[in-house]
Chain A
Amino acid sequence: MSRRLITAIEIDGAGGHPGAWRGPEVDPGAILTGELALRAVQRAEEAGVDIATFVDTLEAPADSAGAVSVRLDALGLAARIAPSTSRIGLLPTLTVTHTEPFHVQAQVATLDWVSSGRGGWVADVSTSAEAASVIGRREPAPAAELWREARYVVDVSRRLWDSWDDDAIIRDASTGRFVDRDRLHYVDYESPAFSIKGPSIVPRPPQGHPLTAVKVSTREALEAAGDAELVLLPGSVDLERRIAAVRGGSTESPLVLVSVAVLLDEDQAAAERRAEGGSFDYIGGVEGLAALVREWQTAGADGVHFRPASLEIDVPVIAEKLLPLLKVTAADRPGTTLRNRLGLSRPANRYAKGAGR
């Protein structure tokens, strides 16, 4: 129990409950301006939350009148929030099935630059027919095949982040050279799905490698979990076995966060009423949730990823009531980059030669 608990929150629309936008406390117009998300992330950061993740899919959300049927691009939203925060890690979801790997890695690297080393991504695949048809380049494919491909995208992204040595920019006026091209590297990546020449267009990001997370919500995603530095594991049942399954697949064990949909209210009846129409892992008061979180930690989880029912209602409760119970405080985590915050080392560059690089 001496390990420190890692905490994360998920940002999606007005919250995880489909009707969250209807609450009197919510200005639904602030979903599209990004202000609702910004306020939630700032509250979380102030309370010491380590990471905000941002939900996205390539296709639009479901076309349902009662729910929030619009969604901002998660990468853009995370970038918008970066200058208005200073400590919290920002992990938008990026799908890799229909997108160009070269763009994906450049976008995540740029998020790391604009957040001064707080960037990362939740790598995801697009299995739906809807996603395939908005791009129109390929048929929907089985999840196992797409996750195999996603692993190539994660791999080539890290290679492209390494394609610039940290000290590639030399600005040597005496020879007129801005970069030392011996410190830039072609990755010459070949996979069954695609090939990429490199180098990246973006200099090596502040963290070396922005953080790669995977949400293991399917059996097929489990294979990719071994490549991630952070795994979001939905639900809390059968936790020990599932954590072992995640860790079993990897040589360098990822951090595992239990990912739970939560609706918090000390008045159980009121909580149940608000939960109607949604689906949650936990409905109730903060003491009960805190006790569960301690159990999950004992079962081997490194932390917890809260998916709040309402950004406006539940994030303040998490920030002001739950985290103090869990002894999480803002002062806990010094360090400028997300990797520092999580106790992860800055990866060495696989291509760099010579001492001091």
Chain B
Amino acid sequence: MTKQIHLAAHFPGVNNTTVWADPESGSQIDFASFKHLAATAERGTFDFFFLAEGLRLREVKGRIHDLDVVGRPESLTVLSALAAVTTHLGLAATVNSTFNEPYELAKRIATLDHLSGGRAAWNVVTSWDAFTGENFRRGGYLDKADRYVRAQESLRIVRKLWASWSDEDVVLDKEGGVFAREGTGAFADDGAHFSIQGRFGLPPSPQGRPVVIQAGDSDQGRDFAASGADVIFSRHGSFAAGQTFYKDVKDRLAKHGRSEDSLKIMPAVTVVVADTDDEAVEKARHIREQQVSGPTAIVLAELIWGRDLSSYDPDGPLPSEDPVVGSNITQGRTGFNDPATIIKEWREAAEANNWSLRQTVINQQNRQTFIGSPSTVATEMNHHVQENAADGFVLVPHLTPGGLDDFVDRVVPLLRERGVFRSEYSGTTLRSHLGLPR
């Protein structure tokens, strides 16, 4: 049977994928930008719109990182506003389980779910670092190993609160004077991280409960996703890595008593479309050059080398030093697990092609996932989905807010023609778009 593709739109974020210096780059904070991109995604009948979260501005060598987009609005508030100007599009908020309490999370996300008629999703992320903790009254108190324990417990409790009402508990009997049954919403939980009790004040929305998204990539993270997520936002966009990840995660579902189609795997991908494949390759190269300025090349290399490389010329050769393992030269972003291997690959590529440091970064680090004519991109994307490298994709555009225009105008019609992507929404809730039961 032909699989249907699922698509999501990621608002351009605070890393160098986002090209802010382009003349077409608009505001990263005005509501109009969010509205524009959401409208484009809804025109393209996407499954959902995705917002990341920030809890502390990134730092490099003890100073605020100033080369990429800095700052963003709080995600649930923006999505609640977007509920007013969209009708079908799912609205996914990234919210940290370490620095929020389950009761608050359950209440705020359930509110979005009601306001949007059943279109809310929670992307559960975790953090433990004392750096982020400095902005919170409870500080960086969590052991790294404990973060998934807390996340898992948090998710379990949030879902318990969402399930604390049944549909029948909302009576709305005006004559009898019964709004809702008394005693509904009562909960109590006593775990390693939370000991709480009380009453939850929101019944189920039209989709029953919000969709849960998870992005963890470690063994622990994959198990966490397999045990309870509806969608995985993965980083494995390439075909081979995608297939390996897909099989690994789907194989974990059985031990949790779940079917394979109950968890959708959607890698983050970037797409460059042009009239011909050759033009697309040229356009992709131009975008990569925009994404990696000289100073950005140095900072990205510092992230891998774990040391100060500011004395290097980005247009000169690669640094000759070995990496510093476990350095905290950059704060507030994910590092690399195996810098030595990356550096070895970079050195070999630089030598073979006679590349400078900046050229090496441009060529090694930021290759877009799908590059080509609309037909090529549609064919490749569909190939990934039909061959189980993905169930769909989270598209990360490089421009705000027009970065998905080309894709929606030129690729989506082809996917529709080929019968692998919806032409119109058949339901009104996000669960329905994703083919998940209420």
Contact = CB atoms under 8 A, between A and B. Distances in A.
Contacts of B171: 65
A251 interface: no
A7 to B, nearest CB: 24
Contact of B134 (A58, A69, A130, A196): A196
A184 B66 CA distance: 10
Interface in A298-322: none
Contact of A83 (B55, B81, B114): B81
Contact of A82 (B55, B56, B67, B84): B84
Contacts, number: 223
A8 B57 CA distance: 37
A103 B179 CA distance: 33
B164 to A, nearest CB: 10
A237 interface: no
Interface in A153-201: 164, 169, 171, 173, 175-181, 184, 193-201
A73 B111 contact: yes
Contacts of B293: 176
B74 A110 contact: yes
Contact of A60 (B84, B201, B294): B201
A76 B111 contact: yes
Nearest to B72: A201
Contacts of A344: none
Contact of B199 (A60, A72, A77, A113): A60
A13 to B, nearest CB: 9
Interface in A36-63: 58-61, 63
Given A68-B179, A197-B56, A80 B101 contact: no
B58 to A, nearest CB: 10
Interface in A70-93: 70-73, 75-77, 79-84
B71 A201 contact: yes
B21 A201 contact: no
A2 interface: no
A271 interface: no
Interface stretch (A25-33, A241-249, A259-267, A323-331): A25-33
A61 B180 CA distance: 12
A193 B171 CA distance: 43
A215 to B, nearest CB: 20
B419 interface: no
A95 to B, nearest CB: 10
A72 B57 CA distance: 30
Contact of B80 (A21, A22, A76): A76
B354 interface: no
Interface residues of A, number: 78
Nearest to A163: B57
B255 interface: no
B104 interface: yes
| Residue from the set A100, A178, A197 with the largest chain B CB neighbour count within 10 Å | A178
Contact of B111 (A72, A83, A178, A184): A72
A134 B333 CA distance: 32
A201 B30 contact: no
Contacts of B101: 98, 135, 137
B107 interface: yes
Given A76-B108, A176-B296, A134 B77 contact: no
Interface in B42-91: 54-57, 63-64, 66-74, 76-78, 80-81, 83-85
Contacts of A201: 54-57, 71-72, 74
| Residue from the set A21, A80, A135, A164 with the largest chain B CB neighbour count within 10 Å | A80
A47 B107 CA distance: 32
A136 interface: yes
A226 interface: no
A96 to B, nearest CB: 11
Nearest to B104: A99
15 contacts: A28-B179, A65-B181, A67-B179, A70-B201, A70-B203, A73-B111, A80-B81, A82-B81, A107-B76, A116-B31, A176-B293, A178-B67, A179-B64, A196-B136, A201-B54
Which A-B residue pairs are the 4 nearest by beta carbons?
A60-B201, A194-B137, A79-B80, A197-B134
Given A65-B179, A71-B201, A76-B115, 16 more contacts: A75-B108, A76-B76, A76-B112, A79-B80, A82-B31, A100-B136, A101-B137, A103-B99, A113-B30, A134-B197, A171-B20, A178-B70, A193-B137, A200-B71, A201-B55, A202-B72
Interface of A: 19, 21-24, 28-29, 32-34, 58-61, 63-73, 75-77, 79-84, 98-103, 106-107, 109-111, 113-116, 130, 133-137, 164, 169, 171, 173, 175-181, 184, 193-203
